[in-house]
Amino acid sequence: MSTYFSKDHEWIKVDGDMATVGITDYAQSQLGDVVYVELPEVGKALKQGEEAAVVESVKAASEVYAPIDGEVAETNGALVDEPGKVNEDPEGAAWFVRLKVVDAGQFAALMDEAAYKAYVETL
């Protein structure tokens, strides 16, 4: 399984033709306590850079962007009932959507973990 990161602080774990998307620990720490999560409909086609989900915290509302093109195959409904999970395990159990990969070539525009860590250090 390969993991990639976007400059918008999404992570994406790829397993075959499926990709799981969430926000990084850095992103959740910037948001503060998450109080609401809005997820897309299963079957929705997303384009790279398009809004995939909405996260609201005590500080602000923020969009989660699709790091690649894909069709929403599954959403993490547990986040709707317990949005605070995003603060507890942002890079694990608190994933937002699973996408069916449309164009694997788009991964080339994303960062690996080392590049993402170096990027965050510049912020």
Q: What is the pLDDT of residues 77-90, one digit of tens each?
A: 999 999 999 999 99
Identify whether the C-beta of residue 87 lies closer than 8 Å to the C-beta of residue 33. Answer: yes
Handedness of CA 65, 66, 71, 74 (dihedral sign): negative
Name the CATH code of domain 2-116 (choices 2.40.180.10, 2.60.120.620, 3.40.50.620, 2.40.50.100): 2.40.50.100
pTM for this model (two decimals): 0.96
Among 19, 34, 12, 13, residue whose Cα is nearest residue 88: 34
Which phi and psi (to 5°) does residue 21 adopt? -125, 140
Q: Alpha carbon of 19 to those of 32, 75, 97: distances in Å?
A: 26, 12, 8
What pLDDT, on the 0 to 100 scale, is given for residue 84? 96
Average per-residue pLDDT in the chain? 97
